Amino acid sequence: MKSLRSISMFVLSGAMAASTAPAQQHVAIAATDIAAAISAAGMPVSTDQVDLLTDVTATKASPALIVESIQPWGDHRMKVRMSCAVSEQCLPFFVSVHTGNESRPATAAADGSSAGIQRASIDPKAFVVRAGAPATLLLDGIHVHIRIAVVCLENGAPGQTIRVASRDHRQTYMAKVVDQAVLRASL
């Protein structure tokens, strides 16, 4: 009986100590921080292209963010999975990024070499690679030639530079379309 009383006193004192501890403050993660992290990962975007799918908070203001994956998500959108570099600062989250002309200025590059720009001047029938399709990326260096299985993140015609990702979506690359399912980039 005495041990039961001492256990209940121990539990009660622990509960009281936990209730008097200050609650940790959560700060909203800004769209500017998200856009900067996505741009640093190789997909240049502006803040107005980023749509938060839910309220995203962290335990500190402006945490270091990591882009875990980028996937096509409907017409002119990409789904981006992100997390904090320090996992205790926030939970992983998704954002939507608009890549079409509706959210981009009219002064976009005419050659279509910038990532995320809709290529209106190119006939869709000229595309030899499609977003989501598997392809082979040939990476050429001075003394090395590497073949990587990738997934196209954008549609592309021969001569165009598009974004591709490794099959696990951990690495993204900018590569020039050579022909059907073959892309080339330099190290």
Last residue of a domain, one of 70, 103, 136: 103
- For residues 137 and 84, membership in a common domain is answered with no
Confirm whether 181 is domain-assigned: yes
| Mean pLDDT rounded to a whole number for the chain | 78
Confirm whether 92 is domain-assigned: yes
- For residues 66 and 133, membership in a common domain is answered with no
Q: What is the pTM of this model?
A: 0.45
Domain count along the chain: 2
Confirm whether 112 is domain-assigned: no
Confirm whether 52 is domain-assigned: yes
pLDDT per residue over 87-143, tens digit each?
888 888 888 888 865 433 333 333 333 433 333 455 666 788 888 889 999 998 888
Confirm whether 129 is domain-assigned: yes
Confirm whether 147 is domain-assigned: yes
DSSP the chain: -HHHHHHHHHHHHHHHHHHHSPPPP-EEPPHHHHHHHHHHTT----GGGEEESS--EESSSS--EEEEEEEE-STTEEEEEEEESSTTT---EEEEEE-SGGGS-TT--TT--STT---TTS-GGG-SB-TT-EEEEEEE-SS-EEEEEEEESS-B-TT-EEEEEETTSS-EEEEEEEETTEEEEE-
pLDDT per residue over 142-186, tens digit each?
888 999 999 999 888 888 889 999 988 888 889 999 988 899 998
Domain encompassing residue 61: 27-103
- For residues 75 and 136, membership in a common domain is answered with no
- For residues 87 and 128, membership in a common domain is answered with no
Give the pLDDT score at 151.
92
Give the pLDDT score at 70.
83
- For residues 95 and 34, membership in a common domain is answered with yes
- For residues 80 and 132, membership in a common domain is answered with no
Confirm whether 90 is domain-assigned: yes
Confirm whether 173 is domain-assigned: yes
pLDDT per residue over 3-49, tens digit each?
656 565 665 565 555 555 555 688 889 889 999 998 888 788 888 98
